[in-house]
Amino acid sequence: MRILYINVLYTPLIGGGTEITLKNLVEGVRDLGHKVRVLSFWDKDDGEEIIDGIPVYRAKIPNVYLPYGEIRQPFLKRRLWHILDIYNHISKKIVLKQIRDFKPDIISIHNTQGWSCSIWDAVSESNVPAIQVLHDLYLLCPTNMFKNNVVCKKQCLTCKLMRLPYKSKSNKLKAVVGVSNFILNKLLSYGYFKDVPIKKVIYNSRRKLSSVIVERKTDPRYINFGFIGTLAPNKGVEVLLRAYHKIKKPNYKLFVAGTGKQDYEEYLKSKYKDDSIIFMGKVKPKDFFEKVDVTIVPSIWYENLPGVIIESFAFGIPVIGSNIGGIPEMIIEGVNGMLFDPYKEGDLEEKLLKFESEISDWKNKAEIIKQSAQKFLDYEGWLKQWEELYNSVKDMK
């Protein structure tokens, strides 16, 4: 089977968990014996290369900038970018040419940023069955239902108008897959993919995690809280830093791993400077998880299936996570973590203090927590789910 994968970025350009998941998927499907190809963007002239045995065609993005990097673009430039992304005719031509050249049996579309909904016209006109994989809420809103540092309860009029073509053209696909029940149901509730024959959820999987043994290096004199991820407002890192400052004690430490936009990162380090807060920068997951007793995932936007939670469970570390998006599908209260409302004053502080009082119990649950990660770490089973879907879609014209 010949499968063309389309996404805005591909490794080594990694914007988030989507690119990590996509690399795992493409390489796994290749290893099953299928012929694969990736189509993505960058900001240079069109070019083709081989990445870990995978042929990757990178087209120069037909928009004002590539949505990647540490510099936040000016407001007007961002607004123009999203206007051009309502329907991009050049993106459509790029996809049509790749379909003619590669002649795929099916097409697997991931994040559509830069491609716009013209990509759905391209696959429909080529009469190649296509699958849309939902990793975020971009199809509903250019800012992923998150504005002015607050989650959007519903789609506003501006977004409704900007996404009008998306809603109708979404029916040109043969299958839609959500990486969580939350994200699939969210899009369906707005009338997207109404006539698409196959609608299903396939949780993301990670590989090379279940066999990792962490040598615990936590200092038993301290309660070691931890955050790992992009340092960005939507990730709720300030929710955590504010809560920590309110309740910190001499025996508390907070490890903050990850990087973000340069100005925001500097702001965080300045405003929340404290000897007990260690900004680690970009580190390997193992180097972070060996130092913490609990991972905090304080997102204030609709996370769909955060890979950091899977990683934390795989290392036997419980998670205190926001009760929005797909996070509640991953956390079992009292078994592998706790949930809190990031918009409720004092709720995170309460959970952090509760964790301190129960820390011995949580340390004894390490093996149970690891077991709860297994459904997200069955890499071979995950590939089988995708292969079965590809077979189902292949002959749908």
Q: Which residues pair with 309 in a beta bridge?
A: none
Q: How far apart are CA 73 and CA 392, in angstroms?
A: 42
Q: Are 367 and 12 in contact (CB under 8 A)?
A: no
Q: How far apart are CA 26 and CA 57, in angstroms?
A: 14
The encoded tokens of residue 296 equal 């905090």
Residue 362 is given by DSSP the state: H
Mean pLDDT of 226-238: 94
Mean pLDDT of the chain: 93
The Cα–Cα gap between 152 and 71 comes to 24
Q: Identify which of 85, 134, 96, 102 has the alpha carbon closest to the alpha carbon of residue 35.
A: 102
Cβ neighbours for 114, distance < 8 A, ≥ 6 positions apart: 8, 41, 61, 62, 63, 66, 67, 85, 88, 91
Q: Do 4 and 39 touch, CB atoms closer than 8 A?
A: yes
269-284, pLDDT tens digit by residue?
999 999 999 999 999 9
Query: Nearest-5° angle of CA 18, CA 321, CA 291?
Result: 85
Q: Where in the chain is the domain with CATH 3.40.50.2000?
A: 2-205+378-394, 223-376
Is the N-terminal amide bond of 233 cis, ω within 30° of 0? no
pLDDT at 54 over 80: yes
What mean pLDDT is predicted for residues 309-326? 94
Higher-confidence position of 73 and 351: 351
pLDDT digits (tens, 9 = 90+) for 237-277: 999 999 999 999 999 999 999 998 888 999 999 999 999 99
| Secondary structure (3-state) at 166 | helix
Residue with tokens 């011995």: 360
Higher pLDDT, 260 or 50: 50
Residue 135's Cα: distance from chain center in Å? 6
Pinpoint the alpha helices (H) of 12-163.
17-31, 75-84, 89-102, 118-125, 157-162
Q: If one looks up domain 2-205+378-394 in CATH, what number appears?
A: 3.40.50.2000
Q: What is the pLDDT of residues 26-45, one digit of tens each?
A: 999 999 999 999 999 999 99
Question: Is the pTM higher than 0.75?
Answer: yes
Looking at residues 308-328, what average pLDDT do you find? 94
At 328-344, the pLDDT tens digits run: 999 999 999 999 999 99
The pLDDT of residue 210 is 45
Q: What is the pLDDT of residue 212?
A: 56
Distance, first Cα to last Cα, the chain: 15
Does domain 223-376 match CATH 3.40.50.2000?
yes
Q: How many residues does the chain have?
A: 397
Report phi then psi at 226, rounded to 5: -145, 150
Position 215 scores a pLDDT of 66
pLDDT digits (tens, 9 = 90+) for 98-157: 999 999 999 999 999 999 999 999 999 999 999 999 999 999 999 889 888 888 989 999
Instruction: Give the pLDDT confidence score for residue 262 in this predicted structure.
Output: 87
Number of neighbouring beta carbons within 10 Å of residue 218 = 18
Which candidate, 107, 102, 172, 187, places its Cα nearest to that of 140? 187
| Sequence-ordered list of residues with C-beta below 8 angstroms from that of 84, at least 6 positions apart, any chain | 62, 63, 64, 116
* pLDDT for res 235: 94
- Look at residues 112, 114, 118 and name the one whose alpha carbon lies nearest to residue 132: 112
Q: What mean pLDDT comes out for the span 21-25?
A: 95
Does pLDDT of 389 surpass 90? yes
**Cβ atoms of residues 41 and 8 within 8 Å:** yes
Q: Which of left, alpha, beta for 296 (phi over 0: left; psi -120 to 50: alpha)?
A: beta
Asked whether 330 and 369 are in contact (CB, 8 A), the reply is no
274-to-240, 271, 278 alpha-carbon distances in Å: 14, 9, 8
Tell me the per-residue pLDDT of 174-227, one tens digit each, with 9 for 90 and over.
999 999 999 999 999 999 999 999 999 999 988 765 445 566 667 788 899 999
